[in-house]
Amino acid sequence: MRFALIGAGANGTVHARLIEALDDDLVAVVDHDLDRAQQLADQYGARAYATAASAYAEVDAVSICLPSALHADAAIEALYAGKHVLVEKPVDITLAAADRLIAVQQETGLTVSVISQRRFQEPVRTIKDAVDSGALGRITSGIVESAFYRPQSYYDGDGWRGTLAIDGGGALMNQGIHALDLLVWMLGKPVQVSARTGQLAHENIEVEDVAAATITFESGAIGVLLASTAAYPGSPVRLSIHGDRGTATMDDDRLVALTTAGAVGEGLGLVGERSAVELAHLAQYRDFVGAVTEGRAPAVGLADGRRSLATVLAVYESARRGRPVELDE
Ligand SMILES: NC(=O)c1ccc[n+]([C@@H]2O[C@H](COP(=O)([O-])OP(=O)(O)OC[C@H]3O[C@@H](n4cnc5c(N)ncnc54)[C@H](O)[C@@H]3O)[C@@H](O)[C@H]2O)c1
């Protein structure tokens, strides 16, 4: 499949590597900073363009690695040009933008997948299987921690990071959404959120660097979330899912416990190999290409991206209002 990469920044560079690793063709790199596009394009024998419209004729699909508030518009433009779309998280920063994109995807019938590469990590899949198979019994609670650290220079470096208008949020919208997406994937439909946010360790940003929330799910299960970019030196995502017959925990990107009533066992500890997040990113690319070529839905679709975004926005609203808020999909 021939890809155009839209956005040749930090993450675009990773996507270029992934497309090459997949044996798909990166034929165009688009960035309004044409020098930046050219530099990356040169490494992969691709052509550089300043606008996406000039690249469409050469490609089957686009990967969108633009700043977050530009995602839906770029995806809609590509869909109307007849291209399949792999868009980075978050799907966009407002539900109105996500809904516009969902409408155009439905109208065109083309494939759109939202990056949530952690869903493809080996230990995460093992935990999800344990949830879905009933091995953990009735799921009662889950807890995720995205305790990252970003120095002040991270926010100072690029114009859009830490802004409400383009980043749309901070530690949760940009980083913690990965962990939140796992919690929501495991526990189902969120119905109520109670949250607090703070801006504690960074200056000149309009967004939170700490967010904490409890989330009640339709099933009655209760989830706990911490997202931070102020947790020096930063830790890998930690996830535990508890049921009335078992518990599964991922830490340091490994499955460190899977204990079920039927098979209690230390023996099940440390099951699974360390799985780099980039390998998971590659697995999501593979899924996207498979979805396009086989004409099936991608593993992570727009409804998934929208649900995680809605939960992020509910966290912000609850923190702003100082009271729980209901989610209504
Ligand atoms: N899945 C992940 O783990 C992961 C990791 C990092 C970033 N991301 C996501 O990737 C996206 C990009 O992040 P980044 O760190 O690469 O940002 P970045 O600032 O490094 O890169 C963004 C690029 O977009 C270009 N650009 C901006 N506006 C443009 C426009 N209108 N037209 C064309 N090009 C334009 C910029 O020149 C820049 O090269 C964000 O949405 C972020 O949330 C995801």
Place of tokens 């911490």: 226
121 within 8 A of 129, measured Cβ to Cβ: no
Pocket of ligand 1 (CB under 6 A): 7-12, 30-33, 36, 65-68, 70, 88-89, 115, 117, 158, 174
CA distance 185 to 59: 32
pTM of the predicted model, to two decimals? 0.95
Q: Which residues pair with 34 in a beta bridge?
A: none
Round to whole Å and give the CA distance between 126 and 124: 5
Residue 8 has pLDDT above 60, yes or no: yes
Q: Closest residue (by CA) to atom 8 of ligand 1?
A: 11
65 Cα–ligand 1 center, Å: 5
Question: Looking at the chain, which runs of residues are DSSP E strands?
Answer: 2-6, 25-30, 47-49, 61-64, 84-87, 112-114, 139-147, 190-198, 210-217, 222-228, 238-243, 246-251, 254-260, 325-326
72: CA distance to ligand 1 center in Å?
13
Can you read off the two tokens belonging to residue 56?
A: 């469409």
Over the stretch 170-186, which tens digit does the pLDDT of each residue have?
999 999 999 999 999 99
What is the distance in A from the centroid of ligand 1 to the CA of 37? 12
Centre of ligand 1 to C-alpha 322, Å, is: 32
Res 157: pLDDT: 84
**How much is the pLDDT for 271?**
38
Other CB atoms closer than 10 Å to residue 31's CB: what's the count? 25
Residue 54 CA to ligand 1 center (angstroms) comes to 19
Please tell me which residue, 61 or 264, carries the higher pLDDT value: 61
Longest CA span, the chain? 59
Q: Which of 66, 237, 284, 308 to mutate to test the pocket of ligand 1 (most atoms within 8 A of CB)?
A: 66
What is the CB neighbour count within 10 angstroms for residue 233?
7
Residue spans of the domains in the chain: they are 2-116, 118-275+300-326
- Segment holding 41, helix H or strand E: helix 34-44
What is the Cα–Cα distance from 215 to 260, expressed in whole angstroms? 24
Give the closest residue (by CA) to ligand 1 atom 9.
88
**In terms of C-beta density within 10 A (0-12 exposed, 13-18 middle, 19 or more buried), how is residue 271 classed?**
middle
Which pLDDT value is given to residue 149? 98
H-type alpha helices, 252-322? 277-294, 302-321
Tell me how far apart the terminal alpha carbons of the chain are, to the nearest angstrom: 34
CATH number for the domain formed by residue range(s) 118-275+300-326: 3.30.360.10
| CATH topology for the 2-116 domain | Rossmann fold (3.40.50)
Cβ-based burial of 124 (10 A; exposed 0-12, middle 13-18, buried ≥19): buried
Name the residue with the closest Cα to ligand 1, atom 20.
9
What pLDDT score was predicted for residue 276? 56
Ligand 1 atom 37, closest CA: 33
Report pLDDT digits (tens) over 260-315: 886 544 334 333 333 457 789 999 999 999 999 999 999 999 999 999 999 999 99
Distance 174 CA to ligand 1 centre (A): 11
Give the pLDDT score at 274: 33
